[in-house]
Chains A and B, each alone.
Chain A
Amino acid sequence: MNKKLRVVTSDHEAAAAPAADVAKPTYWRSLAELEQSPEFRATVEQEFQEPLEQLPPDSPARRRFMQLMGASFSMAGLAGCRWREDKIVPMTRRPEGVIPGTTTRYATAMELNGVAVGLHATSYDGRPIKVDGNPLHPDSLGAASAYQQASVLDVYDPDRSDAVTQKSGDKREVATFEAFDKAAKEEIKKLRASRGEGLRVLSERSSSPTLAALKDRWLAAFPLSKWVVFEPLAHNGRAAGTALAFGKPHRVHYALQEANVILSLDGDFMGSTFPFGTGNARAFIKRRTPEQGEMNRLYVIESTFSGAGALADHRLALRAEQMKAVAALLDAEISAKATPLPEQGPAQPKPAAEFLNDAKIAKFLAAVVKDLLANVGKSAVIAGPHQPAEVHALVERLNVLLGNVGRTVFYTEDAPDAAASDVEALKALTEELAAGRVQTLFVLGGNPAYDAVSDVPFAAALEKAQFSARLGLYEDETSQAATWHVPAAHYLESWGDARAYDGTISLVQPLIAPIFGGRTAIEFIARLLGEEPKGLELVRAQHKDRLGDDRRFRKAVHDGILEGTAFERVSPKLQAIPPVKLSDREAAATVANDQLEACFVACPKVYDGRFGNNGWLQELPEPFTKLSWDNAAIFSVATAKALNVVDGDVLTIALNGRTIDLPCVIVPGQADGSVKLAIGYGRTHAGRVGGKVGTDVASVGANVNTLRSSAAPFVSGGLSVSSNHGPGKQLAMVQEVYSTDQIGKDGMAERLPELIREAPIEKLREEPDFAKHLVHQPHKLNLWVDPVSYEGHKWGMTIDLNKCTGCSACITACQAENNIPVVGQEQVARGREMLWLRVDRYFSGDPNEPEVRFQPLPCQQCENAPCEQVCPVGATMHSHEGLNDMVYNRCIGTRYCSNNCPYKVRHFNYLNYNVDVIGVTPYTPTDDPKMKLKSMVYNPEVTVRSRGVMEKCTFCVQRIQNAKIPAKNARRALEDGEIKTACQETCPTDAIVFGDLNDHKSRVAAEERLGRSYQLLGELNNRPRVHYLARITNPNKELA
Chain B
Amino acid sequence: MAAASDFNPFQAPPKGDNTFARITDNVSRIMEAPKPPRAWYIAFGIALSMLTIFFGSLGWVVWNGIGSWGTTMPAAWAFPIVNFVFWIGIGHAGTLISAILFLLRQNWRTAINRFAEAMTIFAVMCAGVFPGVHIGRPWLPYYMMPIPNQMDMWPQFRSPLEWDIFAVSTYATVSILFWYMGMIPDFATFRDRSTSTAKRVAYGIVAMGWRGSSRQWHRYERAYLILAAIATPLVLSVHSVVSFDFATAQLPGWHTTIFPPYFVAGAIFGGFAMVVTLAVPARQFFGLKRIITIRHLELMNKVMIATGLMVGYSYGMEFFIAWYSGNQYEGFTFVNRAFGPYAWAYWTMISCNVIFPQLFWFKSIRTNPWTTLVIGMLINVGMWFERFVIICTSLTRDFLPASWGYFIPTKVDFMTLGGSFGLFFTLFLLFCRYLPMVAMSEVKAFSPAGGHARGHLHHGHDDAHAPDAAHAHH
**Which stretch, A127-135, A164-172, A406-414, A890-898, touches the partner chain B?**
A890-898
Partner of B159, one of A870, A1017, A1020: A870
Task: Say whether B250 faces chain A, with CB atoms less than 8 Å apart.
Answer: yes
Partner of A838, one of B71, B137, B402, B408: B402
Task: Say whether B158 faces chain A, with CB atoms less than 8 Å apart.
Answer: yes
For residue B395, which residues in chain A have a CB less than 8 angstroms away from its CB?
899
Interface residues of A in 801-846 (CB under 8 A from B): 827, 830-833, 838, 840-842
Task: Say whether A349 faces chain B, with CB atoms less than 8 Å apart.
Answer: no
Partner of B77, one of A750, A895, A949: A895
- Whether B73 pairs with A907 at a CB distance below 8 angstroms is yes
With contacts A744-B340, A871-B156, A895-B77 taken as known, whether A750 is within 8 angstroms of B332 at the C-beta atoms is yes
Task: Say whether A1000 faces chain B, with CB atoms less than 8 Å apart.
Answer: no
Task: Say whether A537 faces chain B, with CB atoms less than 8 Å apart.
Answer: no
Task: Say whether A27 faces chain B, with CB atoms less than 8 Å apart.
Answer: no
- Whether B156 pairs with A873 at a CB distance below 8 angstroms is yes
Task: Say whether A176 faces chain B, with CB atoms less than 8 Å apart.
Answer: no
With contacts A872-B156, A902-B250 taken as known, whether A747 is within 8 angstroms of B76 at the C-beta atoms is no
- Whether B143 pairs with A892 at a CB distance below 8 angstroms is yes
- Whether B251 pairs with A896 at a CB distance below 8 angstroms is no
Query: For residue A748, which residue of chain B has the nearest CB?
Result: B401
C-alpha gap A890/B329 in the complex (Å): 33
With contacts A869-B159, A902-B399 taken as known, whether A891 is within 8 angstroms of B72 at the C-beta atoms is no
Task: Say whether B162 faces chain A, with CB atoms less than 8 Å apart.
Answer: yes
C-alpha gap A827/B250 in the complex (Å): 27
Of residues A748, A832, A870, A908, which shows the largest number of chain B Cβ atoms within 10 Å of its Cβ?
A870
Query: For residue A742, which residue of chain B has the nearest CB?
Result: B339
- Whether A892 pairs with B74 at a CB distance below 8 angstroms is no
Number of interface residues of B (CB under 8 A): 56
CB of A782, distance to nearest CB on chain B (Å)? 12
- Whether A908 pairs with B159 at a CB distance below 8 angstroms is no
CB of B127, distance to nearest CB on chain A (Å)? 16
CB of A870, distance to nearest CB on chain B (Å)? 5
CB of A779, distance to nearest CB on chain B (Å)? 14
- Whether B140 pairs with A892 at a CB distance below 8 angstroms is yes
With contacts A892-B136, A950-B136 taken as known, whether A910 is within 8 angstroms of B72 at the C-beta atoms is yes
Interface residues of B in 63-99 (CB under 8 A from A): 64-67, 70-77
For residue A899, which residues in chain B have a CB less than 8 angstroms away from its CB?
76-77, 249, 251, 395
For residue B141, which residues in chain A have a CB less than 8 angstroms away from its CB?
892
With contacts A898-B73, A910-B72 taken as known, whether A744 is within 8 angstroms of B397 at the C-beta atoms is yes
- Whether B143 pairs with A890 at a CB distance below 8 angstroms is yes
Partner of B402, one of A830, A840, A900: A840
CB of B73, distance to nearest CB on chain A (Å)? 5
C-alpha gap A474/B328 in the complex (Å): 54
CB of B138, distance to nearest CB on chain A (Å)? 8
For residue B341, which residues in chain A have a CB less than 8 angstroms away from its CB?
741, 744
For residue A840, which residues in chain B have a CB less than 8 angstroms away from its CB?
400, 402-403
For residue B248, which residues in chain A have a CB less than 8 angstroms away from its CB?
870
- Whether A900 pairs with B136 at a CB distance below 8 angstroms is no
For residue A289, which residues in chain B have a CB less than 8 angstroms away from its CB?
none
- Whether B143 pairs with A842 at a CB distance below 8 angstroms is no
CB of A952, distance to nearest CB on chain B (Å)? 11
- Whether A1017 pairs with B399 at a CB distance below 8 angstroms is yes
C-alpha gap A664/B193 in the complex (Å): 75
Task: Say whether A175 faces chain B, with CB atoms less than 8 Å apart.
Answer: no
Task: Say whether B153 faces chain A, with CB atoms less than 8 Å apart.
Answer: yes
With contacts A898-B73, A900-B251 taken as known, whether A909 is within 8 angstroms of B136 at the C-beta atoms is yes
- Whether A949 pairs with B137 at a CB distance below 8 angstroms is yes
CB of A847, distance to nearest CB on chain B (Å)? 15
Query: For residue B134, which residue of chain A has the nearest CB?
Result: A894
Task: Say whether A375 faces chain B, with CB atoms less than 8 Å apart.
Answer: no
C-alpha gap A755/B340 in the complex (Å): 22
For residue A744, which residues in chain B have a CB less than 8 angstroms away from its CB?
336, 340-341, 397, 401, 404
The majority secondary structure among interface residues of chain B is loop
Partner of A900, one of B66, B250, B332, B397: B250
Task: Say whether A344 faces chain B, with CB atoms less than 8 Å apart.
Answer: no
Interface residues as binary, B35-71 with A (CB distance below 8 Å gives 1, 0 otherwise): 0000000000000000000000000000011110011
CB of B392, distance to nearest CB on chain A (Å)? 11
Interface residues as binary, B374-403 with A (CB distance below 8 Å gives 1, 0 otherwise): 000000000000000000000101111111
C-alpha gap A871/B155 in the complex (Å): 9
With contacts A870-B161, A874-B154 taken as known, whether A910 is within 8 angstroms of B71 at the C-beta atoms is yes
C-alpha gap A894/B251 in the complex (Å): 16
Task: Say whether B128 faces chain A, with CB atoms less than 8 Å apart.
Answer: no
C-alpha gap A952/B155 in the complex (Å): 22
Task: Say whether A784 faces chain B, with CB atoms less than 8 Å apart.
Answer: yes
CB of A350, distance to nearest CB on chain B (Å)? 45
Query: For residue A730, which residue of chain B has the nearest CB?
Result: B408
For residue A906, which residues in chain B have a CB less than 8 angstroms away from its CB?
73
CB of B342, distance to nearest CB on chain A (Å)? 11
CB of A904, distance to nearest CB on chain B (Å)? 4
- Whether A895 pairs with B398 at a CB distance below 8 angstroms is no
- Whether A751 pairs with B65 at a CB distance below 8 angstroms is no
Query: For residue A893, which residue of chain B has the nearest CB?
Result: B136
Task: Say whether B405 faces chain A, with CB atoms less than 8 Å apart.
Answer: yes
For residue A871, which residues in chain B have a CB less than 8 angstroms away from its CB?
156, 159
- Whether A910 pairs with B66 at a CB distance below 8 angstroms is yes
Query: For residue B410, which residue of chain A has the nearest CB?
Result: A830
With contacts A870-B249, A893-B135, A900-B250 taken as known, whether A751 is within 8 angstroms of B328 at the C-beta atoms is yes
For residue A870, which residues in chain B have a CB less than 8 angstroms away from its CB?
158-161, 248-249
C-alpha gap A416/B154 in the complex (Å): 73
Task: Say whether A866 faces chain B, with CB atoms less than 8 Å apart.
Answer: yes
- Whether B329 pairs with A832 at a CB distance below 8 angstroms is no
Task: Say whether B205 faces chain A, with CB atoms less than 8 Å apart.
Answer: no
C-alpha gap A263/B99 in the complex (Å): 79
- Whether A855 pairs with B402 at a CB distance below 8 angstroms is yes
For residue B73, which residues in chain A have a CB less than 8 angstroms away from its CB?
831-833, 898, 904, 906-908
For residue B402, which residues in chain A have a CB less than 8 angstroms away from its CB?
735, 838, 840-842, 855, 857
Task: Say whether B335 faces chain A, with CB atoms less than 8 Å apart.
Answer: yes
Task: Say whether A718 faces chain B, with CB atoms less than 8 Å apart.
Answer: no
C-alpha gap A831/B396 in the complex (Å): 11
Task: Say whether B144 faces chain A, with CB atoms less than 8 Å apart.
Answer: yes
C-alpha gap A830/B65 in the complex (Å): 15
For residue B159, which residues in chain A have a CB less than 8 angstroms away from its CB?
869-872, 896
Interface residues as binary, A637-656 with B (CB distance below 8 Å gives 1, 0 otherwise): 00000000000000000000
CB of B304, distance to nearest CB on chain A (Å)? 31
- Whether B137 pairs with A893 at a CB distance below 8 angstroms is yes
C-alpha gap A890/B143 in the complex (Å): 8
Query: For residue A838, which residue of chain B has the nearest CB?
Result: B402
C-alpha gap A1017/B403 in the complex (Å): 14
Interface residues of B in 108-153 (CB under 8 A from A): 134-138, 140-141, 143-144, 153
C-alpha gap A562/B67 in the complex (Å): 52
Known: A894-B136, A898-B76. 16 other contacts (CB 8 A): A740-B404, A744-B401, A747-B336, A751-B332, A831-B72, A831-B73, A831-B74, A831-B75, A870-B159, A892-B137, A896-B159, A899-B77, A904-B403, A948-B135, A948-B136, A948-B138
30 sample A-B contacts, Cβ–Cβ < 8 Å, listed by A number: A736-B404, A744-B340, A831-B72, A840-B402, A855-B402, A866-B249, A866-B250, A870-B161, A870-B248, A872-B155, A872-B162, A872-B165, A873-B144, A891-B137, A892-B137, A893-B136, A895-B77, A896-B249, A898-B76, A900-B250, A902-B399, A903-B400, A904-B398, A909-B136, A910-B136, A911-B64, A947-B137, A948-B65, A948-B138, A1020-B250
Chain B residues packing against A (C-beta within 8 Å): 64-67, 70-77, 134-138, 140-141, 143-144, 153-156, 158-162, 165, 245, 248-251, 328-329, 332, 335-336, 339-341, 395, 397-406, 408
Chain A residues packing against B (C-beta within 8 Å): 735-736, 740-741, 743-744, 747-748, 750-752, 755, 784, 827, 830-833, 838, 840-842, 855, 857, 866, 869-874, 890-896, 898-900, 902-904, 906-912, 947-950, 1017, 1020
- List 7 tightest A-B contacts by C-beta distance, closest first: A893-B136, A948-B136, A910-B67, A840-B402, A904-B403, A895-B76, A948-B137
